[in-house]
């Protein structure tokens, strides 16, 4: 495990927008957050939504009893670590197999919040954790997910915010030997959403799936900066994010950094990002970045495509009598279906698709 190197007395520099990590982010719209200009209260808005089950504990712990397990150079994460007095700690017992998802819901209304959550999946446990974010908020969030050897964790976060929310987050997974981390990040709501889904491995045989879906309409900025650090041999990663954009100043950013260090022989990695521009006036940035320090690997690849709506698909469906708006909905649902299907809860699947439909009709795309 990486040792904590953050020096609390030496703050990360306030971003100016010229830094690589911040050059896409509209700093004006998160003003006060990154530069500490506004006060943010210390509070906890995350609660259990699903019924109680055996095999795990969920509790609030004093922050200093749950120290961070990873280093960070992110100014928001640093601020969170300094500020929070309590940490939400979800521990899944070793060998526990929890059949139903553990669902946590965050329902905010115009609150400012800094939040730290730690999820520990005990060895050989199997569980699904879903975090639903709804409401209006200005929130900085750090989630650390630690998988002990042989654990399998499905981790799903749903950004179903109202469109005024600012959500700046890091979701960092530390994956042990033979453990499997399957994540799906869905970002539909929010004014500015900037999430850092990051992964490091601590033992061979570890595997990570980082899947995501985002849909930005008028004025939304949705940013996902993936970082997979292959620092051990024989680990696997798959990244697949699909995004659509519609309306004036809809903006998405996808960064896919995958590093294969010299020791990481036998690495197997592939990352993919596809963007669908539904109207003029939207902009998608997609930057895959693969750095390889050893040739002794199973495979490493990346692909990125950004394209317009396929009129041939529309013509085909309409030539069978399907009206144009319904045909567009079908194609867009189809585009996202591959990822949404990974969320094995039909109620949630349908809710997300319905939100996409609603957002679509709002911008008249």
Partner 1 sequence: MSSLVIKNLRVGVETDTGLTEILKGVDLTVNSGETHAIMGPNGSGKSTLAYSIAGHPKYTIIGGTVTLDGVDVLEMSVDERAKAGLFLAMQYPVEVPGVSVSNFLRTAATALRGEAPKIRTWVGEVKAAMTKLNMDPAFSERSVNEGFSGGEKKRHEILQLELLKPKIAILDETDSGLDVDALRIVSEGVNRVKAESNIGVLLITHYTRILRYIKPDFVHVFANGHIVEEGGAELADKLEENGYAEYIKS
Closest CB to partner 1 among residues 289, 324: 324
CA distances from 276 to 65, 90, 215, 241, 306 (A): 45, 36, 9, 11, 6
Closest CB to partner 1 among residues 296, 310: 310
**Using the rule CB under 8 A, which residue among 334, 344, 354, 361 binds partner 1?**
334
Q: How far is the CB of 94 from partner 1 (least distance, A)?
A: 38
Q: How far is the CB of 213 from partner 1 (least distance, A)?
A: 12
Closest CB to partner 1 among residues 298, 341: 341
Tokens describing residue 252 = 């998405």
Whether 146 contacts 120, CB under 8 Å:
yes
Should residue 337 be labelled a site residue for partner 1 when binding is judged by CB under 8 A?
yes
Listed in sequence order, the residues at least 6 apart from 337 whose beta carbon sits closer than 8 Å to its beta carbon are: none
Stretch that binds partner 1, among 183-191, 295-303, 318-326, 343-351 (CB under 8 A): 318-326
**Using the rule CB under 8 A, which residue among 92, 179, 186, 327 binds partner 1?**
327
Should residue 355 be labelled a site residue for partner 1 when binding is judged by CB under 8 A?
no
Q: How far is the CB of 338 from partner 1 (least distance, A)?
A: 6
Q: What residues between 291 and 310 interact with partner 1 by CB under 8 A?
A: 310
Cα separation, 275 vs 2, in Å, equals 34
Should residue 166 be labelled a site residue for partner 1 when binding is judged by CB under 8 A?
no
The residue written with tokens 């120290």 in the block is 67
Stretch that binds partner 1, among 28-36, 136-144, 195-203, 315-323 (CB under 8 A): 315-323
Residue ranges that bind partner 1, judged by CB under 8 A: 310-313, 315-324, 326-327, 330-331, 333-338
């Amino acid at each position: 495990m990486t040792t904590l190197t953050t020096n609390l007395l030496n703050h990360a520099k306030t971003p100016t927008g010229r830094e690589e990590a911040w050059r896409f982010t509209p700093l004006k719209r998160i003003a006060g957050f990154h530069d500490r200009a506004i006060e943010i209260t210390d509070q906890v808005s995350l609660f259990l939504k699903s019924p109680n089950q055996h095999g795990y504990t969920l509790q609030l712990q004093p922050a200093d009893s749950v120290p961070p397990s990873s280093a960070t150079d992110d100014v928001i994460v640093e601020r969170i670590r300094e500020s929070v007095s309590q940490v939400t700690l979800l521990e899944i017992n070793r060998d526990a197999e929890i059949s139903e998802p553990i669902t946590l819901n965050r329902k905010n209304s115009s609150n400012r919040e800094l939040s730290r959550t730690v999820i520990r999946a005990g060895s050989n446990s199997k569980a699904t954790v879903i975090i639903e974010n709804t409401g209006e908020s200005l929130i900085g969030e750090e989630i650390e997910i630690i998988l002990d050897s042989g654990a399998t964790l499905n981790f799903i976060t749903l950004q179903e915010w109202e469109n005024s929310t600012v959500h700046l987050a890091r979701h960092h997974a530390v994956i042990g030997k033979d453990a499997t981390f399957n994540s799906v990040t869905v970002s539909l709501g929010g004014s500015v959403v900037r999430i850092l889904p990051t992964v490091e491995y601590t033992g061979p045989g570890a595997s990570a799936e980082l899947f995501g879906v985002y849909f930005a309409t008028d004025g939304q900025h949705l940013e996902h900066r993936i970082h997979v650090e292959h620092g051990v041999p024989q680990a696997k990663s798959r990244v697949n994010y699909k995004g659509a954009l519609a309306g004036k100043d809809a903006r998405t950013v996808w960064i896919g950094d995958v590093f294969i260090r010299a020791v990481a022989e036998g690495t197997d990695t592939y990352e993919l990002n596809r963007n669908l521009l539904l109207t003029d006036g939207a902009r998608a940035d997609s930057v895959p970045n693969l750095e390889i320090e050893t040739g002794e690997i199973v495979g490493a690849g990346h692909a990125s495509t950004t394209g317009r709506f396929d009129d041939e698909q529309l013509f085909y469906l309409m030539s069978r009598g399907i009206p144009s708006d319904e045909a567009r909905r079908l194609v867009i649902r189809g585009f996202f279906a591959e990822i949404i299907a990974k969320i094995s809860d039909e109620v949630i699947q349908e809710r997300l698709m319905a939100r996409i439909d609603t957002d679509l009709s709002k911008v008249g795309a």
